[in-house]
Amino acid sequence: MKTILAAYSGVKKGSGSSILSALHELPSVPWLTRSKIMKYLQVISVLQFVITFLVMGIGCSLLLMYMFCTDCWVIAAIYTAWLIYDWNTPKQGGRRSTWVRNWTVWKYFRDYFPIRLIKTHNLLPSRNYIFGYHPHGIFCFGAFCNFGTEATGFSKIFPGIKPSLATLAGNFRLPVFRDYLMSGGICPVNRNSIDFLLSSNGTGNAVVIVIGGAAESLDCAPGMNSVTLKKRKGFVKLALKQGADLVPVYSFGENEVYKQVIFDDGSWWRTVQKRLQKILGFAPCLFHGCGLFFPESWGLVPYCKPIATVGE
């Protein structure tokens, strides 16, 4: 408390040097150390990503419908008209934002685990590429951080290459959430979208496809490295058709950040998961991480495990 009062009295003197010295003294407070502040910011950055992924699309859809029943119906009508007009933009390269990709929050997100991007070969800007990414994990933290943001410095590591992370096409039918995804350079994982990026968008494009998809997420757990490739060779045919180079990518540690109950093949629960996956497009996994305030409790916050993404 004395430290805070001393810092505050220094601020009242009004000089710039006093303010700076006060800010330097604040981290000495036991419950407000610099390392704790950084850790809290990292946890918040990861938790906002998880909540955004789970809630933003449905929440914005419900909000838009509700607005039609209020005095704000004009705003809802204008946005709906824009949504219809802009419907095909995700399939035509999207609308990425360098500003969003460079948000500081993504650096805190990166440092929480931490996440690293390891380069093994140079990529030529005169070519197009398809990155075959494994494993899916629960939330694809490694794929999003490395290819949906600039937190790990993709553009500096691979100059002249523009990554486009492909995800469920259904996400781009959700208001506001679709724009949020496009701002990170994320595109629908369908043939039209990928064809456009590889044939009508010049060179230097890298489409990142999580090959195993939702089915692979059902087999992710600490200590397991299981990939889903059977009946998933369409990306190879697409690469041959477009003359794109294939780059295998693996994120070591992706499966370590959550614990999941894995049901045996043929069991009733596994059958339900697979049927819901076909209906919804994603697999309902029974998983948990740690709590927000008590690390030993269960919650949505992933465990701090290093993730190293390697492209061969």
Q: What is the pLDDT of residues 190-210, one digit of tens each?
A: 999 999 999 988 899 999 999
Q: DSSP state, 46? A: H
Whole-angstrom CA distances from 203 to 125, 160, 182, 185, 200 are 6, 9, 19, 16, 9
User: In the predicted model, what is the mean pLDDT of residues 219-248?
Assistant: 90
Whether residue 171 contacts residue 136, with contact meaning beta carbons closer than 8 Å, is answered with no
| pLDDT at residue 255 in the model | 95
pTM for the full predicted model: 0.85
| pLDDT at residue 21 in the model | 53
| pLDDT at residue 266 in the model | 83
64-68, 219-223, 256-260: least confidently modelled range: 219-223
- Half-sphere exposure of residue 198: CA atoms within 13 angstroms, side-chain side: 26
Per-residue pLDDT band at 241 (split at 50, 70, 90) = very high
| pLDDT at residue 284 in the model | 84
Query: Residue 133 pLDDT > 80, yes or no?
Result: yes
Task: Please count the helices (runs of H) and the strands (runs of E) in the chain.
Answer: 14, 10
Per-residue pLDDT band at 292 (split at 50, 70, 90) = confident
Per-residue pLDDT band at 33 (split at 50, 70, 90) = confident
Residue where the block lists tokens 């990518």: 249
Query: Residue 40 pLDDT > 80, yes or no?
Result: yes
Query: Residue 282 pLDDT > 80, yes or no?
Result: no
| pLDDT at residue 13 in the model | 42
In 10 A of CB 306, how many CB atoms? 12
Query: Residue 17 pLDDT > 70, yes or no?
Result: no
DSSP E strands in the chain: the ranges are: 115-119, 129-134, 162-167, 187-188, 205-210, 245-252, 259-260, 287-290, 298-299, 307-311
- Residue 143's H or E segment, with its range, is helix 141-147
Please tell me whether residue 245 adopts helix, strand or coil conformation.
Answer: strand
Query: Residue 230 pLDDT > 90, yes or no?
Result: no
Per-residue pLDDT band at 63 (split at 50, 70, 90) = very high
CA-nearest of 133, 206, 201, 193 to 164 is: 206
Mean pLDDT of the residues in the chain: 88
CA atoms of 193 and 91, how far apart (whole Å): 4
User: In the predicted model, what is the mean pLDDT of residues 61-79?
Assistant: 96
Percent of the chain exceeding pLDDT 90 equals 67
Query: Residue 178 pLDDT > 80, yes or no?
Result: yes
Query: Residue 223 pLDDT > 50, yes or no?
Result: yes
Query: Residue 6 pLDDT > 60, yes or no?
Result: no
